[in-house]
Amino acid sequence: MSRALFVLQGGGPTAVINATLAGIAETAGTEFDQLCGFRHSFECRTENPVLDLTPILDFSARSQLQLLAGTPGALLQSSRMRVEEKHLRSMLDILRKSGASDLIGIGGNGTLSVLARLHEFAESEGYPLNIIGAPKTVDNDLNGVHAAPGYGSAARFVAMAVRDYDCDFKAMSSFDNVTILETMGRNSGWLAAASILLKRDEDDSPHIVLLPEQPFDEGAFLKQVDECFSKYGRVFIVTNEMLSNTDGDVVGEAVQSGPRDGLGRVLYSLSTGTGNYLANLIWTRLKLQARCLRPGNLGRAMSFCQSDPDRSLALAVGREAVKVLLAGDRCRHMIAINEHLQLSAQSLNLAAGEKPLPGYFLHTDVPFQVSDTFKQFAAPLAGEISPLFNARNLKA
């Protein structure tokens, strides 16, 4: 009797989300006769909701899987819509018609929570369903996951963007006074913190790192900007895309007029933005010319910034998801990742909530900075990065 495995990709893509799909296909080839992908995650659109991935199960397709593992974006296309019972029912109907009882969902907080709901819905309908959640996120804010596939590559992008643009900034420091890089990461500062990975000396960028885990004090911030400019002749600031002030209000909320996503959340990345708000604040109060850089989704979409350790982890998660699926019966698990990057199966409920950047990664002596302890955590995930020429070796 033929056995079909279904897979979906939810939420924002990462540079290595397709590597997890490749790992699934590679391992499923010996146990499943069909591999099917839900297009646009849980949306189950009426026209062609399923993509037949069976050809990549064949052993002869291994070279294609290698290409897939290195391709950014989401092959199956994703979604951020609010999932209702009608969507769960449509998905279950497709699985039932295909005689399939196995599903792997690749995604972050929202996707994993909906997978748990789908399992409960299938049980209420009396349909046997095995579900495995394969974690991914550039934000690294998943509980039960020490390092999420996708984070290492995005962290690598941020670290390289700060180091490399600072070379341009130094060359133009007689014109630009302040550069602000705004990173992704709605409620957690894991990506903004990655900006320090290539900082070696006090003069190196970034000089200020703003994180949602630290309430934003406008007065203290402007004082630090002024002091850094006096000391270095330029100021490189990295800010999370969303900050809260000491009263708990969103910084610059009055000018954040962006649209809302399918979950009803304000898309700050499509509004004026925190970085631009800060640039205007610095010009208004300190009369320093500030430039804001907002790479946005580029940070998760550049194949050249794909981290080798990150891709390897994503592949391993895909392989492990299939193994756990085959070992279970009506299971509802996610692949957990510990501090040694060892994989295990735990309840999908483990992923509930968001994991902030821990306090021990924040610098206690220097304001608006991240500690070297964070480098020890994140550097292995970002992978080896080639050094640049060091102008300090030259004499004036």
- pLDDT, one tens digit per residue, over 372-386 is 999 999 999 999 999
**Confidence class for position 173, pLDDT limits 50, 70, 90:** confident
Quickly tell me which residue has 């700050």 as its tokens: 268
Q: Which domains does the chain have, with CATH numbers?
A: 4-149+303-351 (3.40.50.450), 155-302+357-391 (3.40.50.460)
Q: Report d(CA 242, CA 235) in Å as an integer.
A: 20
Q: Quick one: CA dihedral 32, 8, 329, 84, positive or negative?
A: negative
Residue 272 is predicted with a pLDDT of: 81
Where are the strands (E) in the chain, listed by range? 4-9, 34-38, 50-52, 102-107, 130-135, 178-183, 208-210, 235-240, 290-293, 332-337, 343-347
Sequence-separated (6 or more) residues with CB below 8 Å from residue 102: 3, 4, 5, 6, 32, 129, 130, 325
Query: Among residues 63, 84, 88, 96, which one has the least CA distance to residue 8?
Result: 88
Quickly tell me which residue has 């990150």 as its tokens: 310
Max distance between CA atoms of the chain, in angstroms, equals 78
> Among 142-151, 237-246, 254-263, 283-292, whose mean pLDDT is lowest?
254-263
Residue 269 has pLDDT above 90, yes or no: no
CB 142 within 8 A of CB 11: no
**Confidence class for position 390, pLDDT limits 50, 70, 90:** confident
Phi and psi, residue 349, nearest 5°: -65, -20
Going from the C-alpha of 310 to that of each of 306, 380, 383, the distances in angstroms are 7, 9, 8
Sequence-separated (6 or more) residues with CB below 8 Å from residue 43: 49, 79, 81, 87
As a whole number, the mean pLDDT across the chain is: 92
Residue 267 has pLDDT above 60, yes or no: yes
Q: What percent of the chain has pLDDT over 90?
A: 79
**Confidence class for position 216, pLDDT limits 50, 70, 90:** very high
Q: Whole-model pTM above 0.85?
A: yes
Residue 147 has pLDDT above 80, yes or no: yes
Residue 59 has pLDDT above 80, yes or no: no
Bridge partners of residue 181, in order along the sequence? 238, 293
Residue 266 is predicted with a pLDDT of: 64
Sequence-separated (6 or more) residues with CB below 8 Å from residue 223: none
Query: Among residues 102, 100, 110, which one has the least CA distance to residue 79?
Result: 110
Residue 119 has pLDDT above 60, yes or no: yes
CB 188 within 8 A of CB 140: yes
How much is the average pLDDT of 290-317?
94
Residue 260 is predicted with a pLDDT of: 64
More confident residue, 330 or 172: 172
Residues 191, 192, 195, 196, Cα dihedral to 10° = -110
How much is the average pLDDT of 64-84?
92
